[in-house]
A and B are shown apart, each in its own frame.
Chain A
Amino acid sequence: MAIFANPSSKNSPVNFGNNKVVTETPKTMGEKISDIVFWFLRGLTVINVIMLFFPTFNPAKICEEISRNLSLFTCGVSYDSVTTNVGRALTRGWLPEEAFKLLSLSSIIIILACVVLAVGGCMSLGNVKLKKIGVIVSACGGIIEISGLFGLNNAKTLLENAEKPEKAGEIFLPDMFYAYLVIAIFVILLSVAIFFMLPKLTKVMKCEMEGKYKLFLMMLPFVALTFVFSYLPLYGWRYAFFDYKSGETLTMDKFVGFKWFTQLFQNAATKKDVLRVIKNTLAMSALGIGTSWLPMVFAIFLAEIKNTAFRRIVQTFTTIPNFISWVLVYAIALAIFSTDGFVNTFLTNNLGIPTDTNYLLSSDHMWIKMLAWGTWKGLGWSAIVYIASITGIDQQLYEAATVDGAGRFHKMWYITIPELIPTYMVLLLMSVANILSNGMDQYLVFSNAVNKNSIEVLDLYVYNLGIGNGLIPMSTVIGMVKSVISVILLFSANGISKLVRGQSIV
């Protein structure tokens, strides 16, 4: 068992599975060819599954009144979204409801067919027996898909024979209908071809799969989720090159190239806005970085307190604010600083100084105020990593220093701080890499009409611009530029870290 030769290796505690290949019979010619053909079949399957989710590839858009923004998947899942534009025509009986129901049902059938195809594709990773079953499943998937397409065709005929077909706009079979048809036919042909290429099954053969593929299939859902939610959004970057308004459909005649990018630097109003926002972002990040040593100092001085119970209490209560949301922090800010909040009532009722200032409705010192709230929320929590490090410092160092006559501050300066600096450096580099991303929750909850100009950071600006004002292309452009710069910053910080400390932070 040579695989177990190095069980203590940290990265591979156990490395088995490769030895699970049971039959090592040489492959026949047909099997070798089928291995190549399989890649086409799997490729078609993956493409087909992906196409389900893109509105561009919707074979169910059989008339003008079905929105261009619907994917086949949405058509199947939500009947309401299919009929949004023809609701009136349906209730008046101008268009047959059956047509749209049939359309939705056919969409579900095609989705089902894609699931079946995917199952067949997964099975194709196994041994000959699994492969044979897999191609049968794939062929079935193809047939189901064709029947679904047949249903779509019937829905179209139903629409054409409606009382007032013109209410549905132009009725046609979209190009994608034929694309799906071609894919389905190819899938069936390839499956049948592979079926005859594969060697005959022997009775004793069992369904088996190599460990590496089994593991891959177990991982596949996670890979798919990552792809869908983290990589697929990149497809949205195309909006940066179009003249697009929220809710419209994207067509090639709205292509504007780099118009939004140049406008970012040429349009005086936009430029002014962006500069102001960048100023806020950089200022607040810089203040954050400038005070990033506070948690370290907090931890060092807390360690000087010898009363354990007191230290526990301090740690408990200073950490709580980290676990409440920014909305709650804002609720607290209101309770303390608003017109009838604690500060005003205390001054008025207890000290006899009548005031009713709303401290939250002012744009003075906004950067400092935001820093203060950030510190209030995060200081105790950020200190924990340093507290843990301090407890790990060898006590003999301190004893030796005491013998040598070092005072309290000497020990802090010459022992504790040098021990904490590596941790500090990593966190510092990370915050430098995140200089453009201060998040948006904090600034969103605290922003109002009065302080908007001095509180708006890049993330909040993108939100206000894109979601608030519906300027999707411009906010996409800013988001793109931000993402790219952030990555460059991160890699620079990582490079510096490697150069200086010989360790990467990423």
Chain B
Amino acid sequence: MNILSKGNRTMMDAEKRNANKPMKIKLTAGDIVFNILNYAFFTLFTLLCFFPFYYIFINTISSNDLVRRGLITFWPQQLTISNYVAMSDVNDLWGSLAITILRTIIGTALMVFGSALAGYLMTKQEMWHRKLWYRMLVITMYFNAGLIPTYLNLNMLGLTNTFLVYIIPAIVSPYNIILVKTYIESIPGEIEESAFIDGAGYWTIFYKIIWPLSKPILATIAIFGAVGHWNSFQDSLIYNANAPELYTLQHRLYVYLNSSSNLGAIMSSSTGGEIGSLAESLNTKVLQYTISMVTIIPIMLVYPFMQRYFESGIMLGAVKG
């Protein structure tokens, strides 16, 4: 916890403190120049981060003809949602979307449950050889056998080219387990004690006391885990290369981006007869943009909820037991 020792107070506190502070007496010329430059820099960087998303978005909702001629630069023109409607004809996309949603839900649920239970168990000093299991878990954060042995291992277990490869290896997540463990250790032990004296077993204590009390941290790992699952692309690329029906959305997008010349073919093969009209209405660029938007939108939707968890989320990268 060494990193955050000073950061426990929230932004809100700091803002209140700033508000109570007496106003600066006078701004010097230097202050004004500094402020202008400072605001200018941050405005610029914010625009840099925001504009690409905006640019892609306005291109997907503008008339395809204008997009093709490169006339949509700063604002949308001749609004249309035909691109999003046309997406329903790209069969592969919906399969990938379903796979990604499924893995996000199932994978996150199992990961959160696993982290909660394992985190709780790891606080139990009396467990048989607890230290050994704990070390076994922690070492895996810093050491792995490498990409190829991992692939061969999953292959040997028969997990390659299956949906399960997205779920099972991700259930045990040492980082999250340590995070939950640290959190549970901060819950007053007396609560657990009294439940134990009342005759509750480990399971009862776990889901009647520990689970509800550690909801804040579980929400954090859930939301970051879900984003991780949604964004994951490597496992699909490496382990499920020969099972296109199991490609995740990101992998599908990657395939589309790389085979932009073949996109017309993809469209026509998935739509059968009406090649002409679709190829007309959807050029490759717009198709890429639209699929990108479909991939980004869910992230944008959960983003406002995620912001609440940023403060605890940075611990994901910082806490070491």
Contact = CB atoms under 8 A, between A and B. Distances in A.
Interface of A: 4, 7-8, 10-18, 53-55, 69, 71, 73-74, 77-78, 81, 211-216, 218-219, 222-223, 225-237, 239, 301-302, 304-306, 308, 310, 313-314, 316-321, 323-328, 330-332, 334-336, 340, 342, 344-346, 348-350, 376, 379-380, 384-385, 387-389, 391-393, 395, 408, 419, 422-423, 426, 440-441, 444-445, 459, 462-463, 466-467, 472, 475-476, 479-480, 482-483, 486-487, 490, 503-506
Contacts of A408: 31, 34
A392 B10 CA distance: 8
Looking at B152, B188, B307, which has the most chain A CB atoms within 10 Å of its CB? B152
Given A233-B153, A388-B7, A78 B158 contact: yes
A325 B48 contact: no
B285 A340 contact: yes
Contacts of A78: 158
A395 B17 contact: yes
Interface stretch (B78-86, B101-109, B189-197, B272-280): B189-197
Contact of A392 (B7, B56, B71, B158): B7
A55 B17 CA distance: 66
Interface stretch (B87-95, B214-222, B250-258, B261-269): B250-258
16 contacts: A212-B127, A223-B136, A225-B169, A230-B144, A230-B145, A236-B150, A239-B152, A308-B15, A317-B50, A342-B73, A349-B73, A385-B7, A391-B10, A472-B152, A476-B149, A483-B146
A53 B31 contact: no
B310 A319 contact: yes
Contact of A345 (B6, B11, B70, B114): B70
A216 B48 contact: no
Contact of A216 (B73, B117, B129): B129
Contacts of A304: 34-35, 38
Contacts of A483: 143-146
Contacts of A334: 257, 288
B3 A349 contact: no
A17 B124 contact: yes
B59 interface: yes
A317 B288 contact: no
A77 to B, nearest CB: 6
Contacts of A423: 3
Looking at B117, B130, B133, which has the most chain A CB atoms within 10 Å of its CB? B133
Contacts of B31: 408
**Minimum-distance CB pairs A-B, first 9:** A479-B146, A13-B189, A236-B149, A345-B70, A388-B7, A233-B145, A392-B6, A325-B231, A391-B14
A7 B193 CA distance: 9
Given A222-B117, A344-B70, 18 more contacts: A16-B193, A214-B202, A229-B153, A231-B140, A301-B42, A328-B295, A331-B289, A334-B288, A335-B55, A340-B285, A342-B55, A385-B314, A388-B311, A388-B314, A392-B6, A393-B6, A395-B21, A483-B146
Interface SS of chain B: helix
Contacts of B153: 229, 232-233, 235-236
Interface string B4-23: 10111111011101100100
B262 to A, nearest CB: 15
Contacts of B233: 325-327, 441
A238 to B, nearest CB: 9
B198 interface: no
A85 to B, nearest CB: 16
A215 B131 CA distance: 13
Nearest to B230: A325
B77 interface: no
Contacts of B140: 226, 230-231
Contacts of B253: 327-328, 331
Interface residues of B, number: 112
B99 interface: no
B193 A331 contact: no
Given A11-B185, A13-B188, A318-B45, A482 B146 contact: yes
A328 B292 contact: yes
A11 B118 contact: no
B59 to A, nearest CB: 7
Given A229-B169, A336-B55, A16 B126 contact: yes
Nearest to B299: A323
Contacts of A316: 307
Interface in B127-181: 127-130, 133, 136-137, 140, 142-153, 156-158, 168-169, 171-172, 177
Contacts of B227: 323
B73 A327 contact: no
B257 A331 contact: yes
Given A7-B193, A236-B145, A336-B52, A301 B38 contact: yes
B184 to A, nearest CB: 8
Contact of B148 (A332, A384, A475, A505): A475
A348 B118 CA distance: 59
B189 A14 contact: yes
A353 to B, nearest CB: 13
A465 to B, nearest CB: 8
Contact of B157 (A4, A73, A314): A73
Nearest to B127: A215
A308 B17 CA distance: 12
Contacts of B306: 323
A228 B157 contact: yes
Contact of B52 (A211, A318, A335, A426): A335
B49 A345 contact: no
Nearest to B45: A318
B224 to A, nearest CB: 9
Interface string B229-240: 001111001100
A123 to B, nearest CB: 15
B146 A323 contact: no
Contacts of A376: 48-49
Contact of A324 (B6, B202, B296): B296
A388 B148 contact: no
